[in-house]
Amino acid sequence: MYIITNKMKGLFLFIGESFRYGSQKTRIRGTKESYEEQIKACKSHIQFIEKLEQKFNLEKSDVIISSYTTSYDTDLKVIYEKYLISAIFQKTLIGLTNIFHNILLQTKNLLDYDFVFYIRIDLFLKDYFLKVMDVTKDKILFPSVCWARDCMIKRYPRINDMMMFIPKKYYLYLSKINIYHNCWYKLIHETNIKNDDLDVILKTLHDSDSEKDNNPIYYIVNRPESNIWHSPNQIFDKEKFILNYNSNYTHGFISKSNVIQTSFSSITKKSSINSVFSLNNNSAIYFKKHSDLNNSSDENNEKDNLSEDVQEEKEDDIKLK
């Protein structure tokens, strides 16, 4: 039950490469083979917004799309027409972070919106996303922490960066947002944002790339979807932190032997999620800003283990600082 005293207005940004065909690092886009799946993804975006409006009684929802030009630009504009206020089509790769900031710089009435919600345009949004998404939360929300094998950056959560929900109270920090796995860390260290200001939509862990790791709220279109969830015994709990480093912990997450088994349905494009978590007191991931964990590998892994978006789009000499 959601009690909403004031009707909200939302700005949805669907950004990145559309009609892209193939796995990670593929630069093929705009082919006829990519058309059907991309259109399906876009229609799922409209359905998500429509149902979100009903669930939270939103007063207004606007959409801006910013992608790369193909022969299907008009088709995209037609699908989003109901909510579309702007459509931008780049000719060359500039990266998701630059796309994000360019949109916001051109949005003169940004303060009219109660939240900004960016979502990668090549994601098909599953029904479970609507169930777990809460636009009344007054925190910056990432979809999840990445899977257990790469869940930390410099002792902070390594976040899934395929989408981000940003309430109005955090608009003054928009210029500091980079679409990258280290966004949580950077916001803490480059602004006065605290851990309490940041959270995740899913408490379970999932890699950004749905071809590598199954995700209950989306899949990337025009590439295979994994039916395997690689971190079924891991739960993110940012309210707790590690006080002692011992053999039961590995870089801030509980080892498999210390977690009571989780029941999680096999997820496919047509199936629903059914997760039941039965955890003991230690069955969680813990983070602390000044933890004394041996985390020397985090910086080395930061660039080597990127799962999807920023590094891909910026590999042509486009770099994040």
* 229-238, 246-255, 268-277: least confidently modelled range: 268-277
Q: Please tell me the predicted confidence (pLDDT) of residue 77.
A: 98
Cβ contacts of residue 222 below 8 Å, gap of 6+?
Answer: 19, 20, 21, 22, 33, 34, 37, 38, 122
User: Where do the domains of the chain lie?
Assistant: 10-232+300-313
Q: Contact, 221 vs 16, CB < 8 A?
A: no
Taking the CA atoms of residue 107, residue 113, residue 118 and residue 122 in that order, the dihedral angle to the nearest 10 degrees is -90
Q: Contact, 203 vs 283, CB < 8 A?
A: no
| Helix, strand, or coil (residue 105) | helix
CATH architecture of 10-232+300-313: Alpha-Beta Complex (3.90)
> What is the average pLDDT value for the chain, to the nearest integer?
78
Q: What is the pTM of this model?
A: 0.77
pLDDT average, residue stretch 259-283? 30
Spell out a b/e string for 131-162, using b for 16 or more CB atoms within 10 Å of the CB, else e.
eebebeeebbbbbbbbbbebbbbebbbbbbbb
Residues paired with 102 in a beta bridge: none
Instruction: Express each pLDDT in 35-69 by its tens digit.
Output: 999 999 999 999 999 999 999 999 999 999 999 99
Residue 153 has pLDDT above 50, yes or no: yes
